[in-house]
Structure 1
Amino acid sequence: GGNWNALCRRISFIKISSSLIFFSPPGLQGCRRFRSSAVNYNAMLLEADRERLYVGARGAVFALNASDISASSALTIEWEASAEQKLQCRLKGKDNKTECFNHIRLLQRFNSTHLYMCGTHAFRPLCAYINEKTFAMSSQPEDGRDKCPYGPTTGYTALIIDQQIYTASQYDFWSFPDIRRNSPSPALKTEDAPTRWLNEADFVGSALVRESSGGSSGDDDKIYFFFTEKSQEQTAAYSHSRVARVARVCKGDRGGHLTLQKRWTSFLKTRLTCSLPEYDFHFNMLRSVFVMQGLTPRDTVFYGIFGLGWKNVKASAVCRFSLPEVQEAFRGPYMENQDSGSDWKEYAGKVPDPRPGTCITDNLRAKGINISTSLPDDVLDFVRRHPLMSQQVQPADRRPLLFRRTTDYTQMAAHTAQGLDQQMYHVLYMGTGLWETLSELFHQSQIPIFLQMSVYIGSPSGVVQLPLSNCGKYTSCYDCVFARDPHCAWNGADCVDVMTRSNRSALIQDIQHGRMGCENSGYDVVRRSRSVRVGDDVLLQCELASNLATPFWTLDGREVQGYDLNSGFRTGTDGLLIIEARQDQSGLYTCHAVENDVRVAVVTYNVTISLDLPPPPPPTQQTRNLFASEPAPSSERPSSDEARPLLLLSPRSMEAIYLSLITVLGALCVVLTVVLAYVGFCLRAGQRGKYSLRAAAAAHPSSRRSGRGRRQHRNSSHMELKTVSSHCNGVCNGAPKLHNGDVQDGGFLQIVPGEGQTPSNNEPPPPAPPLPATPQQTSPECDFPNGLSATLPSVLRRMNGNSYVLLRQSDSENTSPLSHTFSEELNRILEKRKRTQLLPRPDESSV
């Protein structure tokens, strides 16, 4: 809830158009905001035909103008938990600052006149109807324990379809996750015994696909649920404890007659896979999903954001799945578990007829089965024991559309845009964990109105409305065309929004390739100069506007080879580093942005490397005048104004300066005396046993098994140096390395609590650790846990007064999946710097 203007300047989206990726730069224009005294705006319902955006927050519901959410016409319903209910919530041990409130979790249209909402109500869920016309509750709240989760952060998804409420969540303290249809009767849920259909499921989304329309088989509509759950397939092919799933039920399901009574007869689930096999990355955590309805049900596409199951590792992937492939998996073989254990295998026996888990179709109606309660018991018993399918659903492209190693995307929305080539493109908008909800503006069946082409974002402190595109951020033809944004095109002078142009014949856009049409367009090249002393290092910065562009450096027209430490250069996304500059490296350096096989110059540096830098120019008359309050007159004779700086050196001023110096020197003497006294005290205390520095080998667990060791451990009072990294092969700067209590090579040193010990006469003192290598010695490489390696301290270098460590790429081939190459780690660090504002003439900085 800080500075909202600054927030809008920071917002940026990554957008995917079909299989093409482009980025919206930060600082989006046209940012509108809505906020109130409420917090946690995490339920949103957009109705473009009514120009309404309904928002549910903590303790309140709002009706906003969808064209401009910042308008003053917002309507409000206050709905907070009572003081008594909050007290009961606290008595249950819940957090009074976050959980004991009424968090709105469900807000959807129920019929043509009413909305329906549910809230946690301080861990006693309630639901209520809203009269759309008066925007007020039309009745007393009703019990919502079967429709809404108890907590504000429990995984949850809900749909209201033809006045039937479908929800998926964990509904109370002791129940298992469940998929339910709550009203009207009959209410259905998933099965728990003898086979549990859901295993610690965390739901992220659901969607209705009307597969009954346009088909000749009389099929039923289906509701698809997306979630992550604990894996049931404990085999070599399923090595993850949690996996991403898609499940489906038939809309017309009424449960079984005797078997599976009040249970789904059509529930089936299978695994969604999203992986990079070449890196052995398997994204098994589903974070968000968005369903794009096609012209026919077979054209429906599911987009999902996936993450890794590793803690403290940021990575995201976006995969796309087609409905026909999901349907094919549900028609495939089943999995079975005979002994109710964890060893699930593919079922190889006979499958009953009609096929278990299918919806009622014309073929079944011809056999006299018109409703699920008429299905045979052997079919229903098979469904109860075989909810899991063996065939996995692969991405439509067999690999992710997008992979980001250092970012956790958590929410996405999508819509369809038409390019100048008359092709339709899916454009995805993704946000990180800052945003609770990301919603697109219009329904698929409606023609978008460009004044309302917005993306709405719910955050903990308010709602933000952003335009779908911000074409004005692209300042050149190449930037505009490289973006491959269906909303943007180049008109010869500016990058403009296509929707705002009635005459589009002269617009330039190349979505498929992103490189055609700018051959005759000019662009600005920044020109700079650098003077460098021989032996120093200098960084030539190059900021690329496009995140998909790669830098290409030339020296006097020849390519600079900057991928080898011995070349004298090092390249990265932030610029070119000249290492130990030589005079023959002087010349004109040019940084080009290369994208889609097109090379565009961005910045040039005229670098002069000499033995000695030229002395600074003598102070000019203008420089001297900086000390005066008024400009000096044109006369050569000094005026009284010119003499004003000399007045600072009057006897009174000199006396003040001397007194100040004496005071500062006296204070320094006092400080030094205190420091020396403290050091001497520590040294004497160390001799008495109050402080000790022991070798790392003294931390061997066996040394603490004795009673004396245990007593010393309880009375720990000193600091012990201990190695915490074991990634070095050979001696690393002479520092020891631990392995099962023995001294190994290398590793970082960490100060950890230890026990004071006074050596006895019968026990020799522990050996002192070996001294570190001197700078003149050759230090081998030491692998860091993140896959980098450094040579210390011989490569600790100076560059324009700054110090830095020059990193080498590890030669080890047996790196873990968490390891990063040098360029990847450097990119990760430098990409953070791109979000900071650079000065017009920045100084060189260290890498």
Structure 2
Amino acid sequence: SWGKLAMLIGDWFLRVPIFSICILSRDFFFKSVLPVGVRFSSHAQNYTTLLLEDEKGILYVGARGAIFSLNSSNVSDGSHRTIDWEASPEKRGDCLKKGKNNKTECYNHVKLLQRLNTTHLYACGTYAFHPLCTYIDTNKFTLPSHFEEGKEKCPYDPARGYTGLIVDGSLYTATRYEFRSLPDIRRNRHQRILKTEESPLHWLNDAEFVASVLVRESVRNPVGDDDKIYYFFTERAGEESTSVFDKAQVPRVARVARVCKNDIGGKKILQRKWTSFMKARLACYVPYYEVLKDVYSLDGGDWRSTVFYATFTLSAQWRSMEVSAICRYNISEVRAAFEGTYMEYQDSSRKWSQYTGEVPVPRPGSCITSRARKNGYNTSQDLPNGVLDFIKLHPLMYEEVKPADGVPLLVKKNAVYTQVAVDRVRALDGRVYDMLFLGTGNGWIHKAVVIGSMVHIIEEIQVFKAPQPVENLVISKKQRSLYVGAQSGILQLPFSSCKRYVSCFDCILARDPYCGWDGETCREVAEILLIQDIVHGNVGCSNDSAQATPMQKNRTVLCGDDVLLPCEQMSNLARATWLVNGTKVLAEDGQGRFRLGVDGLCYAEENGLQALVAAYTLNVLPERVPQQASTVSHPYWHAASATYGDVRFIYIAVITLLGGLCLVLSVVLLYVSCLQKRRGKYSLGVPQAPSVELQTVSSNCLGKVEDEEEDPGTYLDGCLQIIPGEAPTVPSPSKETLPIPPPPPPPLPAEFTNGITTLPSMLRKMNGNSYMLLRQNEEPCTSPLYNSFTEELSKILEKRKHTQLVEKLDESSV
């Protein structure tokens, strides 16, 4: 629902019950824990390689030691098929001899699972640091007896970055293939095998690959261009180092590289090497060096409309900060960077700089086009030596690939986005919106909608109880589902659960393109006559169902106690407005009676929309029961009443507990005194006031410490302050002579604790929620623990304010 609003706080005049409400003006941001979804797990682990064949209704999963075929409509229906593909004992033994980890590395991690043809899949696994590949008949779905060497196709180390595609029968992969080898982009099978150049100016500098994308640029191309495979990775920025051989302190940057599908290498120069390899910086303009985590592409039916969504985190030198960013790139910007100027390494200055010399013809790094074929260059082997030499020494482009609109779509603090998947949906207003599903490093999914040049986060969903990174995300438009791959299993989530929005405000303010309001309930957009407002989120609610029924709560407290009233909110983008007896309460009311907390809230008000979530009725119990109690009515709640019988019962219970406590303490003190007299080793010699009186939390204790250095905790007027915590250590002669500690006093009834004794743990749980602290500081009713409590609370609140709140929050910092 959309946040809990409304709170009633007590009157500071003792004998009158008082009422308050808390109203939230907010943008909707629903938080959900462990949503309803279907899960699949088996004997295997690391369910990270996913292949969805939507039309066939099959989700193939590559895990550690197994391959599964799941029903994509319900992955947990029990109809799955399994292929066990464990590493042999001999290979595991060899792996152990190499010093590898027997708990994580010496297994067969399936890293590649691609459709080869109409009847077979092609799969590759690390196989305990000895990669193997095989063909799987999808009808039989059994492990064949024949295997291929996988060193040229699959990484040896399961922790290495890897990406692989099968395009028209050829396998395009990128990773570090052997223990001592350099990172490489390779093509195997079908066509001629190609690799990247291993020159002193390495084309790849300690690269970690995250994704590869095929773009069919040959389709209806006016210049007769070729299809291209784009590779996304992070590598060391050689252009920012004084030497290509000095890797110390070299920052890592994000890159995009491309090769032409029909490249067959050079004839004499660059034999069996790419002649079309080029790379450029992929900038997201986060004010630190970015590390690329994942990339997802959408084409909208035409390659010219292709966009790439990329997730970034900060590089290693900024690990103390958890910041993620989402940037969007148009294919036109990527092509413009590769058609720009080159960079060149200058031996004299030992650094990279912009190349200003003459560029050979045909343009180095470009694919074979109609114009090249007209000039007699039908394949890459026909290219002149001057063009090939230029390509060999100029793999890096000068221009950066800039994000759309020049800025990130989203910058999110306190989150590490590891995966991104995007669905394009048409809303009821006729516009097309991109829905982002973002996986985090601790097992959450953030669902967001792209509105123009900004991102509105709709909800956060905790998908795994145990924190673990989201390793893969796959979208099924047919099943309207999101498949989440992680170490412990597969989770299938619906695109949206519209029924969780219980009111019109909930449904409209969510701005979820999958959901609309039909006048009574929130439904999927497949229904007719629904209401949405994606752009603003504040139009369409006009009837009584706009707001959910507010929650009503009663609270009874003792005179002199501070009261903490939480206002738990489901929305991180909500702003709380407190009303006490109909009057708005500011952060401090001048008399120190109120302290309002909005710890972790993002102040996002949508055109003044407000709604009441909850209301509190606070009854203050004085020393004598008032004859009459005035009440305040409100259309959303009614006041709770307390009878004289209830008051008498409460006082009798308190007196009984205190009497029992005094009896226990008297017996213990008498026993300790007798014990000390008998042993003659210790005596109670600390000077105290003439009379010591143990007082309750609500009694009159106004004593002050005259000299804390002499004896902290001792009061001149005979009051003993009891402060929770550990006592200072006092050396003792022997363990046998230690007095038996008295038993702890029984806790007060829950009705009189007012949430105070558990305040620190409560504040930890209230991150992102509002609260109000009520101070009753009338002279006759001041508690002896008032000062220590308020000081402790002030310190906690001030610390949290300085560490978590910023002055101007945006939707990306919720």
**TM-score, normalised on structure 2?**
0.70
Alpha-carbon distance in 1 for matches of 2:670, 2:511? 66
Partners of 2:674 and 2:507 lie apart in 1 by 62
Q: CA deviation at 1:622?
A: 11
Give, in angstroms, the shift of residue 470 of structure 1.
1.2
Q: Structure 2 residue aligned with 1:273, among 283, 297, 302?
A: 283
Q: Does 1:188 align with 2:194?
A: yes
Identify the structure with bigger relative contact order (alpha carbons < 8 Å, sequence gap 6+).
2
Q: Per-residue CA shift, 1:750-806, capped at 9, x if unaligned?
A: xxxxxxxxxxxxxxxxxxxxxxxxxxxxxxxxxxxxxxxxxxxxx996448975515
1:550 aligned onto 2:575: yes
Matches within 5 A, 1:733-772: none
More deviation, 339-348/55-64: 339-348
Which of 562, 574, 595 is residue 587 of structure 2 equivalent to?
A: 562
Q: 1:516 to 1:601 in 2, by over 3 A?
A: same
**Which one of 84, 89, 96 corresponds to residue 102 of structure 2?**
96
Residues 52 and 66, structure 1, Cα contact 8 Å, conserved in 2: yes
Alignment pair present for 1:805 and 2:757: no
Q: Using the TM superposition, give the Cα deviation of residue 544 of structure 1 relative to its aligned residue in structure 2, in angstroms.
A: 2.9
Please point out which of 522, 534, 540 is paired with 1:495: 522
Q: What does residue 501 of structure 2 align with?
A: 474
Deviations 1:92-135 (Å, cap 9, x if unpaired)?
A: 01001110000100011011110000000000000000001111
2:171 — aligned with what?
165
Tell me the residue number matched to 1:359. 367
Is the CA contact (8 Å cut-off) linking 2:422 and 2:475 kept in structure 1? no
The answer as to whether partners of 1:526 and 1:602 remain within 8 angstroms in 2 is: yes
CA–CA separation in structure 2 for the residues paired with 1:566 and 1:421: 51
Matched, 1:132 2:132: no
Describe the SS at the equivalent of 1:257: coil
Distance across 2 between alignment mates of 1:675 and 1:248 = 84
User: For residue 404 of structure 1, what is the aligned residue in structure 2?
Assistant: 412
Task: Tell me if structure 1 keeps the 8 A contact 2:215–2:227.
Answer: yes
CA–CA distance in structure 2, aligned partners of residues 512 and 668 of structure 1: 78
- What is the distance in 2 between the residues matched to 1:667 and 1:396? 83
Query: Does structure 2 retain, via aligned residues, the 8 Å contact 1:455–1:467?
Result: yes
Compute the displacement of 1:557 (Å). Answer: 5.8
CA contact 2:217–2:226 (8 Å) conserved in 1: yes
Show the counterpart of 1:595. Answer: 606
Out of 539, 543, 550, which is 1:520 matched to? Answer: 543
Contact preservation (8 Å) 1:307, 1:316: yes
Q: Contact between 1:234 and 1:342, CA under 8 Å: does it hold in 2? A: no
Partners of 2:85 and 2:143 within 8 A in 1: no
Q: Whole-Å Cα distance in 2 between the matches of residues 565 and 527 of structure 1?
A: 28
CA shift in 2, pair 1:78/1:533, >3 Å: same
Q: Residue 282 of structure 1: CA displacement?
A: 2.9
Q: CA deviation at 1:490?
A: 1.2
Say whether 1:465 aligns with 2:492.
Answer: yes
Amino acid at match of 2:473: S
Task: State whether structure 2 residue 274 is matched by structure 1 residue 264.
Answer: yes
1:40 maps to 46
SS in 1 for 2:240: coil
Aligned to 1:701: none
Aligned to 1:823: 805
What amino acid does structure 2 have at the position aligned with 1:425?
Y
Cα deviation per residue 1:131-190 (whole Å; 9 max; x = unaligned)?
A: 011112345111000110011111000001111000000111111111111122411111
Cα distance in 2 between the residues matched to 1:608 and 1:148 = 70
The equivalent of 1:345 in structure 2 is: 353
CA deviation after TM superposition for structure 1 residue 610, in Å = 10
Q: CA deviation at 1:439?
A: 2.9
Match of 2:288 in 1: 282
How many residue pairs get matched? 628
* Aligned partners of 1:166 and 1:179 also within 8 Å: yes
Post-superposition Cα deviations, 1:242-276, rounded to whole Å, max 9, x if no partner, equal: 11111111111111111111111111111111134
Distance 1:24 1:146 in 2: 47
Q: Any residues of structure 2 matched to 1:238-637 within 5 Å, and which? A: 241-276=251-286, 281-282=287-288, 284-309=290-315, 310-339=318-347, 343-433=351-441, 434-442=468-476, 448-449=477-478, 452-499=479-526, 501=527, 504-505=528-529, 507-521=530-544, 522-523=546-547, 524-528=549-553, 538-554=563-579, 560-562=585-587, 571-574=596-599, 594-605=605-616
Q: Quick one: distance in 2 between partners of 1:435 and 1:47?
A: 24
Q: Measure the CA separation in 2 of the matches of 1:287 and 1:560.
A: 45
CA apart distance, 1:77: 0.8
**Pairwise CA distance, 1:542:** 2.6
Amino acid corresponding to residue 55 of structure 2 in structure 1:
D
Tell me if the contact between 2:238 and 2:250 (Cα under 8 Å) persists in the aligned partners. Answer: no
- Which amino acid is the alignment partner of residue 488 of structure 1? C
CA RMSD after TM alignment: 4.1
User: Could you tell me how far apart the structure 2 residues matched to 1:565 and 1:360 are?
Assistant: 77
Residue type of the partner of 2:239? E
Q: CA deviation at 1:548?
A: 2.8
- Mark the CA change 1:134 to 1:666 in structure 2 (over 3 Å): closer, same or farther: farther
51, 59, 64: which one aligns with 1:58: 64
Read off the aligned partner of 2:265 and give its amino acid letter.
Answer: G
Aligned to 2:507, the other structure's residue is in SS state helix
Judged with a 3 Å threshold, the aligned counterparts in structure 2 of structure 1 residues 592 and 385 are, in CA distance, closer, same or farther, namely: closer
CA distance in 2, matches of 1:555, 1:283: 49
CA distance in 2, matches of 1:555, 1:353: 79
Deviations 1:487-536 (A, max 9, x none): 1111222211122x2xx12x110112111111434413344566788987
Q: Cα–Cα, structure 1 residues 665 and 603, in superposed 2: closer, same or farther, change >3 Å?
A: same
The 8 Å contact of residues 593 and 602 in structure 1, kept in 2 or not, is answered as: no
Contact 2:472/2:486, CA 8 A, preserved across alignment: no
CA distance in 2, matches of 1:106, 1:58: 12
Any stretches of 5+ residues in structure 2 without a counterpart?
A: 1-26, 243-248, 442-467, 627-641, 684-784
Q: Structure 1 residue 474: deviation in Å?
A: 1.5
Mapped partners of 2:130, 2:220: distance in 1: 43
| C-alpha spacing 1:22/1:657, structure 2 compared with 1 (3 Å) | closer
Q: CA separation of 1:549/1:139 partners in 2, compared to 1, >3 Å: closer, same or farther?
A: same
Q: 1:566 to 1:305 in 2, by over 3 A?
A: farther
- Tell me, yes or no, if structure 1 residue 110 matches structure 2 residue 116: yes
2:120 and 2:155 mapped to 1: Cα distance? Answer: 22
Deviation at 1:72, TM superposition (A): 1.6
Aligned mate of 1:178, from 164, 174, 184? 184
Cα deviations across residues 672-716 of structure 1 (Å, max 9, x unaligned)?
A: 99999xxxxxxxxxxxxxxxxxxxxxxxxxxxxxxxxxxxxxxxx
Distance 1:129 1:560 in 2: 70
The 1-side partners of 2:350 and 2:581 are apart by 66
- Residue 235 of structure 2: which of 223, 229, 235 is its match? 229
Q: Which residue of 2 aligns with 1:766?
A: none
Paired residues of 2:114 and 2:122 also in contact (CA < 8 A): yes
Indicate conservation of the 8 Å contact 1:335/1:344, yes or no. yes
Matched-pair contact (CA < 8 Å) for 2:29–2:570:
no
